[in-house]
Each structure stands twice: as C-alpha cells, then as structure tokens.
Amino acid sequence: MPRKGRLNGRAVMAKLLARIRVLADGGCRAQDLRSTSLVRRTRRLFSRPPVAVTPIPSGLVPTSTLPLELLIVEDNPGDVRLIDELLRQVPRPAFRLTHATTLQDALRLLDRSRFDAVLLDLVLSDAQGLEGIEPVGHVAVDVPIVVLSGLADEALAVQALAQGAQDYLVKGRGDGNLIVRAILYAIERKHSEQAIRHLANHDALTGLPNRRLLTDRIHQALAHSRRSGLVMAIVLLDLDNFKQVNDSFGHPVGDRLLLAVAQCLRSCIRESDTAARIGGDEFALVLADVESTEGVTAFLKKLHAALQAPFLLDGHELYVTASIGVSSYPKDGQTVPVLLGCADVAMYRSKEAGRDTWRSYSPAIQSTSVKQPAIGSHLPRAMERGEFVVHYQPQVELKTGCVTGVEALLRWCHPQLGLLPPARFLRAAQQAGLMKQIGRWVLGQACAQTRAWRAAGHSALRVAVRLSARQLLEEDVLEAVLQILGESGLESRYLELELTEAGFVKNAETLVSVLSGLRSEGVRISLSGFGVRHSSLSYLKRLPVDSLKIGRTFVRGIGEDLVNAAIVRAVISMAHGMGLDVIAEGVERAGEFAFLRAEGCDRFQGGYFSRPLPPLVLSEMLLRQPRWT
C-alpha cells in the first residue's frame, strides 16, 4: 500500500499560497478541471472577462525609476503581446520584456543576462507541465518564477510552489494589476527566502559562513582537488584566552575583537578560499587548490604573523594569539569528517605546546596523546560538531550482478581515536540518552542520500537501515519515519528497515503492530541475524517481513562447512516458499559467493564485493562499475 501523502513545512506554505491565489483569481470551476481540452481552450490569454482585483499595495512598488527586467517564456506570440499590453496599463512599476519561445532559449538568456523575474508557461515545445521549473531555478538561483497555466488546479499550484516557483497564475482570471502584483510578491518572497537562507548559513555577528556552510564548502573544495590533483587544507583556529577579553573589557569589545579577527582572516585568504566562524572563539579556513603542502606551510606562517599585530578597539590596544591546527588532502585523509578530525587533533596539540603556535597533523602527534578521552564525555558534542558519518555497504543482486541496494552503517570520526564502529560507542550513547537523536539522524541521512543517488540515475537502489527494538518501541516512530521520508523526498518502497531477531523475540506483540503499520505505508521490513536464536521459526509466521538476512555466523565458510551449508540451504528454501527475499551478509570469499548463487540467494553484501564506503566513494564506484560479475 503506497505511503499516504504528507506535506512538509514548505509544501504546507505552498498549498496555502496556492489556495489564496486561486481564490483571488475567482475560484476554480469543476467543469474546467474535468475538461481534457482545457489547455488548448485557454491558450488565448485572458479570453474571459477579468475578475475585480484589489489594488497593488504601495509598499510593493519599487522606488527606483529603472524598469524591472522580465523574461516571458511563452510560445504563443499573441499571449506575449497581451501580457505586454496588460502590464502597460499599470503606471508603476515599468517593465522591460524579453521573450523566449522555448525553455532552452530561456536558459541561454538567463545564463548571460540579469532578470528580476520570470513568467514561465507550462506548455512549451521542449518542456511540458512542471518540467521547466527546476532548470530555470538551477540556472537563475536568485530570480523568482511566476508560473502561467491554463489550469485552475490547486494541486498543480501546490506542486509548482513546492518545486521552487514563487507564484502561480491562472490564465483568464485577472488583469494587469493581478499580474504585476504577483510579480512583485514573487520578488519580495524570493528576497525573503534568500535572507532566511543567508541567516541559516552565516554567523550573525561576523557574517562569515557558519559550520553548516563550511561543511558544504569543504565538500566542494575536496571534489575540486580530486579532479585537479592539487592539495586542499583545513585550518582550525581557537583564540587563546579570549574569555579574559570579555571579562576585562566587556562583551561589546569582545564582539568587536571577533569582527576584527574575522576581517584579518578574510585579508589572509584568496577569493577561492573560505573563512568561517564555527564557535564562540573558533574559526576555520578552507584552502582550495594549493600547489603543495609547502604552500600550506607558507600560508600558516603568514597567518600566524598577521595575528601578531595589535588590534586597536575603543582606544585599547589588544593582542590576540591563536592555537592553530591544519590537515590536508590527500596526505591526512580522504573524507570531510576525517580531515576535520585531524585538524582538530592538530589544534589541540598546539594548545598542549603552549598556545600561540600551529601544528600540522601527522599520525605521530595523534599517538602522543597524553590521555585518550573517555568515549562518553565526547558523545554529546559529536553530533553538534558533525563527527558522525554514514557509510554504505552495497548489496548485489546475485542473478544480475547489479547493485540494487545499500545498507546504511553509522561511523564516528572521533578527533583522536579515528573512525569508530557503532560497537565502540552505542552503549555510551544509550546511557547518555542519545540513541533516539542519533538513530533518526542516520535514517534522515540515509533517505536523503538514497534519494540523491536515485535522482542521479541509480534508479534500482533502495536503502536498508537497522533499527533496534528500543527505537521501534518509541511512541512516535511511525510518524517520525514518514516525516523523514517526506522531508527527503524518498518513496517509502525504497526504504527497508532491519530488525534484529533478538529484539523482536522480547517485544513480539507490540512490534508486530508497529511493523505492520510501517509496512502498510509501503516501508519494507527485514529480519536481520535470522537463525541465531532457536526461537526464530516460531515467530517468523507472525512477523510482517519482506526479507530475511542470514548472518555472517552461518555464511562464514559455507563452501566447506557442511553444517552451515545445510542451514543456509534450508533457510533459502523456506524463505522463498514463504515469498520472502533472502540477503546474505558477511560474504568474504569466492566459495561463499559461489554457494549462495548456486542455491538461489537473492542478494549479498560483504568484503568479497565491497567494504562499507563513504557516499562520494560509493557514487564513483557506481559510475565506474554499475554491474558486477
């Protein structure tokens, strides 16, 4: 049964705006919506008498006398002329119209010219329906889009706004005032969206990128360095004894010092680099496309010297020092979390060395840690600092050799201990009450990443996420899963939730109800570790599952171990008899793979094909090797 439609915050706003627009345009007639020839019949713009509209609010009219540049994407010249005539009836503001008859022509114009707004028809020779919204929004990120349609269809309006349009106008439902008002509202709404986006990605005090935008910039720089073969470096700075400035001179002076430091950092980097504020007195720099590690060292000397100069604030001559740590690609790591962790370790070594200095990361400085921190003490900040990552292990269909799924696996890029598997920290997470937050974060990351892979052309992929019985027993688990699916845009049928058999046996009655609810919404259910406990068969008939996963305990050595071979053969036969898929995990050897293929196992995962991989590495592998034999 397909997942019920649910609206996230943006879709709710889109629905509200669409309803307001349809009502303002005179409502929607039932016979219009039923007519299959409506699009053809409404091609003549405003063929019916316009309804009365309210005047344009004076606050929306620009004070500038310069005309607004308007791009009309419409393949009917008569419609364009009529729009021009209607706009001329409104004294202010003035418009300068540019006309494109196809989507491709519009994209070329947007790429080389500046426009204040786009009027986009939904019926073009090279784009039908809502197909044109995303390409226009991609090329002209800052330009608002007003959709023109012959359909007074509220659902279509909701979809248009949810895909990035700022407004939706129905042909034949208004006059020049209505069009102008829609354009001006769209411009205002786009400006508001940009302001909100800027606030979400920048530090309020300094205007520098915040941690969220920093992570995105590091990903971009890392991808560019992979292509260019040049060095990318991450520099972390922690101002030494900054609290003393606040205590001695007050917070206003402290804020001005932070602004001065931010300006100093800007002056030290190139336009292609990034300076960010990631904490109270913590800053970060991303150096893109450096010729060599010697170039990074030269920059650190320059930065350290720049920070030695005094800052003159309110008559005070203030000196500031910083503990600086740096890591670089490809020397110190291949992924963003690992590189950040290495830079963090190097920064703390600077503090241990007496502050006012810098250190480059090396395995040697990590091994000289005086005292490895307790896992539990670092957990609360690990999520905030972006140290958790999700790796993905491919699942291969044995019949075709195609990668048809991935299992999402949590990892912690600990700044001192390196990449940790869940077994090292989940008990501490449970004791700290963080499992719910971590579990839902993993699910959200997995759904969003799988949606991105599918959009990139890997349409066969589904994702498996392991949930504990404790997570499934949370009161709002069904609503949470559906909300995450809605926010990520992943259809429910491409999500598979794995439950360990041990967790099911202890809470059978309640979990059957929860899993049935999830399955009724289209989510697939898998029983992981099947056969480890003696009670599996007695519960299997009652459990609403789609697949069984045979654990590595039985897979190991099945090419030679006759007992394990007999068990696996029986499980595959029984599962297929019940209409269930069978997945084998922990496949490490050619003999195990050959046995599973001969016995008709559906999917397998394990080191024989691939270890768990970071998303970017797996993306490259899927492009390079979409089929495996």
Of 3-17, 19-33, 67-81, 99-113, least confident by mean pLDDT is 19-33
Rounded Cα distance, 465 and 408, in Å: 5
Rounded Cα distance, 2 and 303, in Å: 57
pLDDT at residue 20 is higher than 90: no
Q: Do domains 9-200 and 211-369 have the same CATH topology?
A: no
- Angle at the Cα of 259 from the Cα atoms of 257 and 263, rounded to 5 degrees: 115
pLDDT at residue 71 is higher than 90: yes
Rounded Cα distance, 53 and 574, in Å: 69
Contact 516, 497 (CB under 8 A): no
Average pLDDT, the chain: 82
pLDDT at residue 395 is higher than 90: yes
Question: What's the pLDDT score for residue 34?
Answer: 27
pLDDT at residue 570 is higher than 90: no
- Kindly report, residue by residue over 281-317, the tens digit of the pLDDT: 899 999 999 989 899 999 998 998 888 888 888 777 8
Rounded Cα distance, 592 and 595, in Å: 5
Among 2.60.120.40, 3.30.70.1400, 3.20.20.450, 3.20.20.80, what is the CATH number of 388-624?
3.20.20.450
Of 114-128, 323-337, 496-510, least confident by mean pLDDT is 496-510
**More confident of the two residues 20 and 434:** 434
The residue among 407, 473, 416 whose CA lies nearest residue 442 is: 407
- Residue range 196-200: average pLDDT? 78
Collapse the DSSP code of 446 into the 3-class scheme (helix H, G, I; strand E, B; otherwise coil) and give the result: helix
Q: Report phi then psi at 5, rounded to 5.
A: -65, 130
- Kindly report, residue by residue over 537-556, the tens digit of the pLDDT: 556 677 789 999 998 878 88
CATH architecture for the domain at 211-369: 2-Layer Sandwich (3.30)
- Kindly report, residue by residue over 468-486, the tens digit of the pLDDT: 878 888 888 999 999 999 9
418-425 long-range contacts (CB < 8 A, ≥24 apart) are 418/338, 418/341, 418/366, 419/338, 420/375, 424/375, 425/375, 425/379
pLDDT at residue 40 is higher than 80: no
Q: In the chain, pLDDT over 90 holds for what percent of residues?
A: 35
Question: What's the pLDDT score for residue 626?
Answer: 60
Among 45-49, 134-138, 506-510, top mean pLDDT goes to: 134-138
- Kindly report, residue by residue over 445-456, the tens digit of the pLDDT: 999 999 999 998
Band the pLDDT of 16: cuts 50, 70, 90: very low
Rounded Cα distance, 271 and 183, in Å: 34
- Residue 580 in tokens: 């269930």
Neighbour-count burial of 408, counting CB atoms closer than 10 A to its CB (0-12 exposed, 13-18 middle, 19+ buried)? buried
Question: What's the pLDDT score for residue 107?
Answer: 95
DSSP letter for each residue of 507-553 = THHHHHHHHHHHHHTT-EEEEEEETSSTTHHHHHTTS--SEEEE-HH
Band the pLDDT of 28: cuts 50, 70, 90: very low
Band the pLDDT of 9: cuts 50, 70, 90: very low
Contact 449, 390 (CB under 8 A): yes
DSSP one-letter code for 493: G
pLDDT at residue 11 is higher than 60: no
**For residue 427, which amino acid is it?**
R
Question: What's the pLDDT score for residue 627?
Answer: 65
- Kindly report, residue by residue over 219-266, the tens digit of the pLDDT: 999 999 999 999 999 999 999 888 888 888 888 888 999 999 999 999
Question: What's the pLDDT score for residue 17?
Answer: 44
**More confident of the two residues 86 and 14:** 86
- Residue 347 in tokens: 């920064």
Of 43-52, 339-348, 496-505, least confident by mean pLDDT is 43-52
The residue among 473, 492, 470, 469 whose CA lies nearest residue 481 is: 492
- Kindly report, residue by residue over 159-179, the tens digit of the pLDDT: 888 888 888 888 877 778 888
For the chain, give every domain's residue range. Answer: 9-200, 211-369, 388-624
The superfamily CATH assigns to domain 9-200 is Response regulator (3.40.50.2300)
